[in-house]
Amino acid sequence: MVSLKLLRTLLLFSLMGTCFSERILFLLPLASRSHVNVFEPLMKALGERGHEIVNLSPIISSNMPPTVQQIQLITVDDLLGNMPNPFEQRKTGKLWTMMNSSALDHMDKACIKVLETPRLYEMLEKEKFDLVIVDIFLNYCVLGVIPHFKAPSIFISTSSSPSFLTSVYGNRLPPSFVPNLFLKCTDRMSFLERLTNTVVDVLFGVMWDRMFPLHNNYPRPLLPDVIEVGGMHTRPAKKLPKLGFHCESKDMPENYRKVFINVFARLKQRVIWKWETETMPDLPPNVKLSKWLPQQDVL
């Protein structure tokens, strides 16, 4: 009888599956709203599967499971505050200068704030993680922090990986057939175009994709541990919630705004316009204003 009970017990245990819960750190200290949008579905999915998630980000995400802990080392104002008005910079011809030197200067200052945060040092001393997931885009300054956690790491790029990103993990892109994002070349280049592409790749390696559409992405050799996950952030369409954007419409010069108003008023179609206020005195009847519009759900 004892042996039969033991056999039943062993049989019961043999039918049980094995489940492991990991502690995962999402290191996104300089991530903007658009970058966090890419990581949110991954955090939510891992949290719903029982993993303990710690998210270091300037953005506090909503509708996360209780297994996701969110920590703000810096705020969005620390990251993007006091940025020059791009509309004013465009009038003076300094838009490119602002987009690069000023933006990078803000990132440097925000990075210093992150590295000086006592909460980060507390985590380095006391907390353990099984995996570290990093937003590699603009977060170079925290790469030196990762080895202190003594855990495997995964880099995720929220855009098509240009050479200045892939070179960080040793994956150089050949300029002979991978065009620079700032050039109008395709992957079919003449000798002069390849030469130009090489020079531009060297001189502007610290710049990133700001002008060209994401579909300008040509075949490139990637290391075996580099996996493209485009579309990971897509989700079923739903009614319009709030969104946001770095360049605020309210900063637009009045003459620009009137041009938009005049053009929209002549359209037969209805127009949805992201605007920081819900009212506008001369708003045409076919235009709807909203403070935030999710591109995916609108499209």
Instruction: Look at residue 211 and tell me whether its pLDDT is greater than 50.
Output: no
Lowest mean pLDDT among 67-81, 160-174, 263-277: 160-174
Kindly tell me if the per-residue pLDDT of 132 is higher than 70.
yes
Residues 6+ apart with CB under 8 A from 84: 98, 102
Choose from 18-22, 55-59, 244-248 the range with maximum mean pLDDT.
Answer: 55-59
Q: Is 65 left (phi over 0), alpha (psi -120 to 50) or beta?
A: beta
SS3 label, residue 82: coil
Q: Is the pLDDT of residue 288 over 60?
A: yes
> Residue 245 and residue 3: Cα distance in Å, rounded?
69
Write down the domain spans for the chain.
21-158, 166-223, 238-299
Whether residue 82 is predicted with pLDDT greater than 70 in this model: the reply is no
pTM of the model: 0.59
Confidence (pLDDT) at 273: 83
Phi then psi dihedrals of residue 275, to 5 deg:
-145, 145
Mean pLDDT, residues 146-158: 88
Nearest to 246 by CA among 105, 101, 80, 89: 80
Burial of 175 (0-12, 13-18, 19+ CB in 10 A): buried
pLDDT of residue 47: 92
Residues 6+ apart with CB under 8 A from 263: none
Q: How many helices (H) and strands (E) does the chain have?
A: 11, 7
Task: Examine the pLDDT at 63 and tell me if it is beyond 80.
Answer: yes
**pLDDT > 70: what percent of the chain?**
75
Rg (CA), the chain: 24
CA dist 183 and 197 (Å) reads 7
- Going by C-alpha positions, the residue among 33, 73, 65, 25 that lies closest to residue 47 is 65
Q: What tens digit of pLDDT does each residue of 217-228 get?
A: 566 787 888 777
- Please give the Cα distance from 153 to 141 (Å, whole number): 15
Residue among 226, 219, 101 at smallest CA distance from 167:
226
Q: Within 10 Å of residue 138's Cβ, how many Cβ atoms?
A: 20
Specify the pLDDT at position 246.
Answer: 54
Q: How confident is the model at residue 88 (pLDDT cuts 50, 70, 90)?
A: low
Q: Which residues in the chain belong to E strands, given as ranges?
A: 23-27, 52-56, 68-71, 131-135, 153-156, 271-274, 287-290
Which CATH number is associated with domain 21-158? 3.40.50.2000
According to DSSP, the β-strands at 287-290 and 271-274 are: parallel
Q: Using CA atoms, how far apart are residues 173 and 122, in angstroms rounded to an integer?
A: 38
Judge contact between 43 and 133, C-beta under 8 A.
no
Q: 32-41, 75-84, 135-144, 247-256: lowest mean pLDDT where?
A: 75-84
